[in-house]
Amino acid sequence: MNKPLIFEALQEMLSVKVLTDVSMRKYTTWRIGGNADFLVFPASTDELSVLLIYLHENEIPWVVIGNGSNILVGDKGFHGVVIKMGEQFATTNWRDNQVDIDAGVLLPTLALEAAERSLSGLEFAAGIPGSMGGAVRMNAGAYGDTIGQYVTQIEVVTYTGSKQILTASDISFAYRNSSLFDVEALVSRVTLSLPRGSRDESLSKIRELLQLRSRNQPLEYPSCGSVFRNPPNDHAGRLIEMANLRGMQIGGAAVSKKHGNFIINIGGARAKDVVALIEEVQQRVYEYSGVRLETEVKMIGEFV
């Protein structure tokens, strides 16, 4: 890989400065991970399209991230291009009860703005530290609501650079999943249709849900959110706690004492610590209950 040549090409096609040899600790909510060769910030669908064409034609490894939640970057980093859909790709366009949302828009920001406009449905998202692109792809949800139930249209850019529009009928949503995982494209913009509601009621519900999260989740420590998917008719956190695993620690990673489905960085945690702890939890829960927990976490890069 000719890094100087790739850097020059990337910088020529993008309006925001390309970063090199960047510690991914700064860009993940777990605050864990080695260095990425390149970190880029596309500022429009046109830039994203040109970027993907270049990466595809030159067979350069790449991965996309949003706010860095729900991912674990290996200690040896990522040898390729990390595409961050961030603040440069974070505009919203409100039209009555519909809103067009760029992939980099943060869910808490969107939830609060919807409430201020007396639009309901997104109160659950106020405490989810993710961005729209990843949220719609994995059908993020909480407290009985999901993002997918409000989707009317999704704009994507394929891995070969073409732009396409998918309607709600083109997409199927399930628990922590969607058919978007089968589409070789990146989400660039999402359109939601939200029901009319009460500003005061929505803001009150947001405050209530945020207080509930604060009481029940270890928000004082870096984490990725929930590590494991809930098995059918049960909760991963309950199984972990019943197996007496709260507080279990490997290196700087520990199972939260407040919520069993959170693995927290108590200081200096490495990816290898988290992987080892995940595997130990899976084994112990299986021995206790016969249930094999599946992770929600996306593993990125090279691991020791």
Domains detected in the chain: 3-87 (3.30.43.10), 90-202 (3.30.465.10), 218-300 (3.90.78.10)
Rounded average pLDDT over 141-170: 94
Check 226, 256, 270, 284 and give the catalytic one: 226
Give the number of other Cβ atoms within 10 Å of residue 290's Cβ. Answer: 7
Check 23, 87, 117, 176 and give the catalytic one: 176
Give the number of other Cβ atoms within 10 Å of residue 160's Cβ. Answer: 13
Residue range 264-301, pLDDT digits in tens: 999 999 999 999 999 999 999 999 999 999 999 999 99
DSSP structure string for 111-135? HHHHHHTTB-S-GGGGG---BHHHH
Residue 226 annotated as catalytic: yes
Asked if the model's pLDDT at residue 304 lies above 90, the reply is no
Q: Is the pTM of this model over 0.85?
A: yes
> Which of the four pLDDT bands, split at 50, 70 and 90, describes residue 144?
confident
Residue 176 annotated as catalytic: yes
Q: Are 228 and 293 in contact (CB under 8 A)?
A: yes
Q: What pLDDT does 176 receive?
A: 87
Residue range 32-86, pLDDT digits in tens: 999 999 999 999 999 999 999 999 999 999 999 999 999 999 999 999 999 999 8
Distance CA 88, CA 102 (A): 10
Strand partners, 192: 99, 151
Distance CA 110, CA 97 (A): 13
Q: What pLDDT does 1 receive?
A: 78
DSSP state, 69? T
Residue 296 annotated as catalytic: yes
